[in-house]
Every structure is written in C-alpha cells, then in structure tokens.
Amino acid sequence: MMKSILSLMTVLSLAVLMGCVKQEEEAVNAPTVSDYAKIRAASAAKIKEAPAQKPVAQQEQVVQGDGDGNEKGDFGAGDGFRYDPAGRRDPFRSFIVERLAQSASEQTRGPLEFFELSQLKLVAVVVSQDNPHALVYDPSGKGYIVSVGTKIGKREGHIVEMSQSSMTVRETQEDVYGDLTARNIEMKIRHSEGG
C-alpha cells in the first residue's frame, strides 16, 4: 500500500514538473513588452518615412472617338464628368496609418497641454533677467517648472511673459469663420485664504 502511494506521488510530481518545464519554455519564447515597443517604433518610423501623398492635379483625359459621340476611354462619362481628388481622402490609403500618425503627433504633447488653463494653478514665479521660471500645479497637485516659450493649455498656448506675480499665456483659437485668432490670458498667483 505504501509503495503504491509512493509510486503514485512520484508519477504526479513528474507530471507537475513536466508541465512547469513546458510553461517555462513557452514563457521564454513569448514576446516581451520591449518587443512590442520595438514593433511600434518601427511602424512609426515607416509612417514618417512614407512620402506625404498630395492630391493629384486634375488631368485632362485623352478621348478618342469618331466624332459621332462614340468616344473611347471615357468609361461611360459621356457628359464630361471628371473626378477631382482635391480636398478628399485617398480611398486607397489605409486609415489606420493616418490614425497612427495622429497618435504619434499626440504623443509629442507635453503634460501641461492636456489641461485647460483654468485647471492649472500658478504657485510661484522666479524672475531673473535672462530666464524667468514659474511653478505650475496641475489638477492632481503635480508641479511643473515652466519658462517663457513653454507650451501650456489645450488650445496650443505658450508662455510669452512672466512678472513678479503673474504670467501671460498666448492661445490660438479658431473662430466660427475658420480664422485663427490669438488671445493673451493672464494667470495670477492665487494666495490661499486664512493663512
């Protein structure tokens, strides 16, 4: 009885060991996070290397015919219709590539470019002659040191001026007519009440 239990335990332990070895072999061959990062970087590089496709200028179509309206090469467009691709998306270009390019451009945004200016809090300004700096907190309480020229805010704003107790941010907005207008917004240091 003891021998049968011992042999059963030996067989079970061998089976478990074989399963663990197989799992370790599979884990060794599995892709890692760095492999995925390399693949993403390679696809982003391909997107950047691909030449930007510009709309093809409207081309005159050569029409051959016998003069009686029996034209060849028009493919059923007898009324003179011509396709103008200007301002339209290329139907043969992958929309996934365009989204990858868009996400790549979004990744270049700084952390302060994801917030409205009203959500950010100016805490301190250190003014010097050559390069003034300021401390700005985001809504979560994380602090960032900024200087003149730093991009800030959702509307493509950037810091243009700093004084003892404030800084000026210039934002560019598109109005209802499609015209771009710039406006300056002054952010002041907020002093806490009660001490």
CA distance 167 to 153: 13
Higher pLDDT residue, 77 or 186? 186
In a domain, 95, yes or no: no
Q: What is the four-CA torsion angle of 85, 89, 93, 94, rounded to 10 degrees?
A: -170
- Residue 56 in this model has a pLDDT that exceeds 70: no
- Residue 170 in this model has a pLDDT that exceeds 80: yes
pTM over 0.85: no
In a domain, 44, yes or no: no
> How do 151-152 and 143-147 pair as beta strands?
unpaired
- Residue 51 in this model has a pLDDT that exceeds 70: no
In a domain, 144, yes or no: yes
Q: What residue numbers bound the domain in which 20 lies?
A: 1-30
**What is the tens place of the pLDDT at every residue in 67-101?**
555 555 545 545 677 878 888 877 787 878 777 77
In a domain, 133, yes or no: yes
- How many domains does the chain contain in total? 2
- Residue 24 in this model has a pLDDT that exceeds 60: no
**Average pLDDT of the residues of the chain:** 76
What pLDDT score was predicted for residue 159?
93
Indicate the pLDDT class of residue 54, thresholds 50, 70 and 90.
low
In a domain, 91, yes or no: no
In a domain, 24, yes or no: yes
Indicate the pLDDT class of residue 120, thresholds 50, 70 and 90.
very high
In a domain, 68, yes or no: no
What pLDDT score was predicted for residue 99?
78
> How do 64-65 and 166-174 pair as beta strands?
unpaired
Specify the CATH number for the domain of residue 168.
Answer: 2.30.30.830
CA distance 167 to 189: 9
In a domain, 58, yes or no: no
